[in-house]
Amino acid sequence: MTCRIAVLPGDGIGPEVIREAVRVVEAVGAATGIAFDFTEAPIGGAAVEATGDPLPPETEQACLAAGAILLGAVGGPRWDREPAARRPETGLLRLRKAVGAYANLRPVRVHRAMAGRGPLRPEVVGTGIDVLIVRELTGGLYYGERGLQQEPFGERAYDTMVYTTPEIERIVRMAFQLARGRRRRVVSVDKSNVLETSRLWRRVTEAVAEEFGDVELEHMLVDNAAMQLVRNPGRFDVLVTENTFGDILSDLAAALCGSLGLLPSASLGLPGRPPLFEPVHGSAPDIAGRGIANPLAAIASAALMLRYAFGLEREARAVEDAIDEVLAYGPWTPDIAPPGAPVAGTEEVGRAVALKVRERL
Ligand code: NAI
Ligand code: MG
């Protein structure tokens, strides 16, 4: 079996961090004999410069022909004044649509080695935090009917939140399936004391749970979930929720980590379409080109790719364990270096992870 990967480095620090993610996947290949085939293609500002199109047809084709897409980041001040069709993020939005990504997975892991380096007190981090946020991505408030009207007293604006049974079923079912590969606990987050969409969400979730007798389900109101994520994050395994709540809670959970440079994401979609893996951070123009970007979010995204696109659980774990080891003992990029510790560059960190991956496999 050959694992075909479309590699889209993008803009700013994208190419710098993706280079290290590819290095680590190559180390997995060298250690195991698994064949990885990389096809690099332009997206975002880089593609606009080359072709005038932030998602050229060749890039889209390369993606759809691959088993997975590994993306850096797109955008930067250089393209801020471009019309929408030539803006880098338009390319990313079109790509997400092309792969039918309706589920956004954001694992938030805080290894106990990082306790005290993020905003949480060490005792809250405890033995570590490992939450997988599963956010519905193509429905709800961001896609419902909206409008702005003139009224005698001023203006009136509205947005509507809409969900259908099939939309809820597929995302909740995915969350339960993912929980089976983890600690078998799902927390479904809603606002069912107020919202009709949430009441439907809860009913459908109950029905899907019947198929998964081996997974424990708990419902939680979104305001309480925000509080619990900060006070007692260790209690969560898989957290599934609708689009808007997921947007807010995933950023909140991300902040628990201490650096944007650590957070990976996966966007999974329709069967037969390739999933998309990318760090949560953007192109970081303020540090681009200096070789100091943290590559761990991109490398962790590659680990998710091994797990969810190719079913390579052991290899994914080896990469994640290697990341934890580097977090604990260095080398560290400036964003995560403990006070007084020497700082390293992007490539040094990537090479360190690759080396430890080889030792583990
Ligand atoms: P950003 O995530 O690029 O940067 C925010 C802050 O975090 C900056 O100070 C940056 O230096 C730091 N940072 C981010 N990633 C880091 C890493 N790996 N290592 C160390 N430090 C890191 O977000 P910002 O500044 O709001 O946006 C910059 C550009 O990126 C914009 O053009 C924006 O549209 C784009 N963007 C793209 C995304 C994507 O491709 N998915 C997501 C978010 C923003
Ligand atoms: Mg957000």
Q: How far is the CA of 316 from the centre of ligand 1 (A)?
A: 25
Domains of the chain: 1-104+260-361 (3.40.718.10), 119-256 (3.40.718.10)
Tell which atom from ligand 1 comes closest to the C-alpha of 44: 40
Q: How far is the CA of 244 from the centre of ligand 2 (A)?
A: 9
For the residues 88-107, what does the mean pLDDT come to?
Answer: 94
Q: Give the tens place of pLDDT for each residue, 16-74.
A: 999 999 999 999 999 999 999 999 999 999 999 999 999 999 999 999 999 999 999 99
Catalytic residues: 142, 191, 223, 247, 251
- Of the pLDDT bands very low, low, confident and very high (cuts 50, 70, 90), residue 121 is confident
Query: Within its chain, how far is the Cα of 271 from the centroid?
Result: 19
Which of 110, 106, 107 lies closest to 129, judged by CA?
110
CA gap 66, 260 in Å, rounded: 28
Q: Give the tens place of pLDDT for each residue, 268-290.
A: 988 899 999 999 999 999 999 99
CA gap 67, 74 in Å, rounded: 21
Average pLDDT along the chain: 95
Tell which atom from ligand 1 comes closest to the C-alpha of 284: 3
Q: How far is the CA of 158 from the centre of ligand 1 (A)?
A: 30
DSSP 198-223: HHHHHHHHHHHHTT-TTSEEEEEEHH
Q: Give the tens place of pLDDT for each residue, 210-265.
A: 999 999 999 999 999 999 999 999 999 999 999 999 999 998 988 888 788 999 99
Burial 44-74 (b: 16+ CB within 10 A, else e): bbbbbeeeebbbbeebbebbeebbbbbbbbb
Pull the structure tokens for residue 317.
């774990």
CB 267 within 8 A of CB 322: no
ipTM of the complex: 0.98
Give the percent of the chain with pLDDT over 90. 88
Query: Within its chain, how far is the Cα of 256 from the centroid?
Result: 15
Quick one: pLDDT at residue 176? 98
Among the bound ligands, the one closest to the CA of 243 = 2
The CA–CA distances, whole Å, from 118 to 106, 149, 159 equal 18, 45, 35
The CA–CA distances, whole Å, from 88 to 18, 49, 92, 141, 257 equal 17, 10, 7, 24, 27
335 Cβ inside 6 Å of ligand 1: yes
Tell which atom from ligand 1 comes closest to the C-alpha of 76: 32
- Terminal CA-to-CA distance of the chain, rounded, Å? 18
Q: Which residues are annotated as a binding site for NAD(+)?
A: 76-89, 282-294
Among the bound ligands, the one closest to the CA of 142 = 2
288 Cβ inside 6 Å of ligand 1: no
92 Cβ inside 6 Å of ligand 1: yes
Q: Give the tens place of pLDDT for each residue, 141-177.
A: 989 999 999 999 999 999 999 999 999 999 999 999 9
Among the bound ligands, the one closest to the CA of 247 = 2
Strand partners, 155: 150
